[in-house]
Amino acid sequence: MRTHRLPPLRSASLSAALRCPQGVVDVVRDFDPRATTLFPGRGQEDARAQADLVRPILDDLQGRLRAQGVDDPHAQRVLLVLQGMDTSGKGGVVRHAIAMMDPEGVRVHAFKAPTPVEREHDFLWRVRRALPEPGIIGVFDRSHYEDVLVQRVEHMASPDEIERRYGAINDFEREVAASGTRVVKCFLNISRAEQKRRLAQRLDPSGAKYWKYDPGDLDVRAKWDEYMAAYGLALQRCNQDEAPWFVIPSDHRWYRNWAVARVLAETLSSMNLTWPPARFDVARERERVANS
C-alpha cells in the first residue's frame, strides 16, 4: 500500500484549524470570511499550484474508497454537507473541488424547496433517501439544515418544532456516522459586502449568470442578521464530534475551494483507506490471462 503525505501545511491540520468550536457561536463576531487560514502559498497567484497538489491525493483516496464499496455493502462512505448564504459558493465548491474526483465515485444532490410529496413526510425523509451508498462520496448542496435555517427565519415551523429538529438532526447524524459514513459539514462563510458584489456580478450584461439570479434572493439578504443568528444556533446545537462543522472562510473563492478540497482530503486520509485485497488467486489469474 502506498501511503500519502499531504502537502506541507503551516501547522498540523486545516481541519483542526477550521473546526467550529463547541459552545455559543456568533458567526459574524467569531469568524473572518476573508481569512486564508494556513494557505501554504502567497495567495490567489498560487491557488492553481496548490490545487494541483491536492487533486491527485483526493483522487487517489477517493479511488480507494470507491474500490472498497464495490463488493462490501458495509464499506465506508463520506457525506459532505455544504451550507451557506446565496452566492457563498456551494456550486463553486462542487465545480472546483468535487470535480477533482472521479464522477462515478461521487453523488451530488442539490436540495430545493420541498416538493408536495416531500412535504408529506418528516423533514429528514428526503435526506435519508439521498444518503451515499457504500464507497461513495455524497455531496449535499443545501441539506436538512435548511429546515432549521430558512424555516426558522421565515417562521415556517413553530419554535417548538425547530427545537425538536436540532435533536432529530443530532440523532440522525449520529446514526449515519455509526453506520460507517464520515459526516463533514462545511459552512461557507461570506460577508454581507461580498454577497452584494456577487449578486451584482450575476446581473452583468453578458447575461451568462441571469439564470442564477432570483429577485427573492434580496428578500433573504434583507434578513441577513436573522440568518446569521440561525446559522449560529445550528452550528452550536448540531456540532457533535461524529458530525463536525467546519467554518470555511469564503470571501476568496480560490481559498474556499482549496480549503474544502483539503479538509476532504484530510478526512479521507484519516480513514485508513487501503486498496481491497484480491478476491481471487492472483498468480492463477495472471496465468489464465496469459493463456487467454
Residue 72 CB, shortest distance to a second copy, in Å, is 10
Residues 181-210 that bind a second copy (CB under 8 A): 196, 199-200, 203, 206-208, 210
Q: Is 211 in the site for a second copy (CB under 8 A)?
A: yes
Q: Is 221 in the site for a second copy (CB under 8 A)?
A: yes
Q: Is 95 in the site for a second copy (CB under 8 A)?
A: yes
Cβ count near 206 (within 10 Å)? 7
Cβ count near 53 (within 10 Å)? 17
268's grid cell = 479521507
The window from 10-18, 42-50, 161-169, 217-225 that contacts a second copy (CB under 8 A) reads 217-225
Beta bridge mates, 246: 19, 186
φ and ψ at residue 147, rounded to 5 degrees: -75, -10
Which CB sits closer to a second copy, 8 or 207? 207
Q: Is 141 in the site for a second copy (CB under 8 A)?
A: yes
Q: How far apart are CA 110 and CA 126, in angstroms?
A: 11
Residue 138 CB, shortest distance to a second copy, in Å, is 12
**At a CB cut-off of 8 Å and minimum separation 6, what does 59 contact?**
100, 101, 102
Q: Is 285 in the site for a second copy (CB under 8 A)?
A: yes
**At a CB cut-off of 8 Å and minimum separation 6, what does 149 contact?**
83, 227, 230, 231, 234
76's grid cell = 465506508
**Angle subtended at Cα 221 by Cα 220 and Cα 226, rounded to the nearest 5 degrees:** 75
Q: Is 275 in the site for a second copy (CB under 8 A)?
A: yes
Q: Is 10 in the site for a second copy (CB under 8 A)?
A: no
Residues 60-89 that bind a second copy (CB under 8 A): 63, 67-68, 70-71
Site string for a second copy, 106-125 (x = CB under 8 A): x-x-x---------------
3-state helix, strand and coil shares in percent for the chain, rounded to the nearest 5: 50, 10, 40
Residues 36-65 that bind a second copy (CB under 8 A): 63
Binding positions for a second copy, rule: CB under 8 A: 1-2, 63, 67-68, 70-71, 91, 94-95, 98-99, 102-104, 106, 108, 110, 139, 141, 196, 199-200, 203, 206-208, 210-213, 215, 218, 221-222, 275-280, 282, 285-286, 288-290, 292
